[in-house]
A and B are shown apart, each in its own frame.
Chain A
Amino acid sequence: MDVRTTTKGRALTVRLRGELDHYAAREAILAVERALDAALPSSLTMDFGDVTFMDSSGIAVAMRAMRRMAALGGTSALVNVPPQAKRVFDAAGILCAAKEETT
């Protein structure tokens, strides 16, 4: 799992890449926490565009970040979510924006 972060003003974008399972979750959670601590952003965008597989571990990663943003009084969004990961978020009732088909 590879986590890349970019900050523009008070907007933080976190890009996740690879397989997001329990094996990868701890590292992903720590990377997102570190980025949130450093940026203290008013908005967080989590980009799942390069996530090739995700199970409920991804829910834990996203929920933790979203709770943290709520505590900071900011907003958060999950974007570019591929179909397989979207089915997992949908099953948990978590709103997310689907990845656009590029065919």
Chain B
Amino acid sequence: MKVKPNNYIALEFLSRSANEGFARTAVAAFAAQLDPTLEELGDIKTAVSEAVTNAIVHAYPDTLGKISLRASIFDGILLEIVVRDKGRGIADIARARQPLYTTGGEERSGMGFTIMESFMDSLVVRSEPGKGTVVTMKRKIARRGTKL
């Protein structure tokens, strides 16, 4: 059975680098209703920035394509972020997730997935070469003063 979120936003934007700031700021503004700490908000923005940048750099290396982003709140405390592209896909996900591994040239550090992993509670990457990639990240935001 599919659990319905309490709330969600869905965005679609072109894979232009200039949209990185828009994407992370939009998710941060949406997440604000969970009353996150500054540190939690920073972690979420960073993870979104990494996922969106990966799609921009790797999914559509020589072309512009659509990136869709959905942020949902479940159970009033769980933030789920899904970044989806229809780009060239990742042939070897395990390798792509390794720290310092990059095919992105000198502007990239190869630390994108490592940062998503360490800043979020869970990270699932599904990809099919030629079809696209779906990155799903989850993070519990404990309301301040309440215990999980």
Contacts and interface: CB of A to CB of B under 8 A. Distances in A.
A37 B111 CA distance: 27
A40 interface: no
Nearest to B112: A56
Given A21-B49, A87-B43, A91-B118, A60 B21 contact: no
A87 B39 contact: yes
Given A63-B109, A83-B38, A22 B20 contact: yes
A92 B49 contact: no
Nearest to A60: B109
Interface string A80-100: 000110011001100000000
Contact of B109 (A26, A56, A87): A56
Contact of B42 (A26, A63, A87): A87
Q: Interface size for chain B: under 10, 10 to 19, 20 to 34, or 35 or more residues?
A: 20 to 34
Interface of A: 19, 21-23, 25-26, 29, 53-57, 59-60, 63-64, 83-84, 87-88, 91-92
Given A57-B53, A87-B119, 6 more contacts: A23-B18, A29-B107, A53-B46, A53-B49, A83-B38, A84-B38
Interface of B: 17-18, 20-21, 24, 38-39, 42-43, 45-46, 49-50, 53, 56-57, 99, 106-109, 111-112, 114-115, 118-119
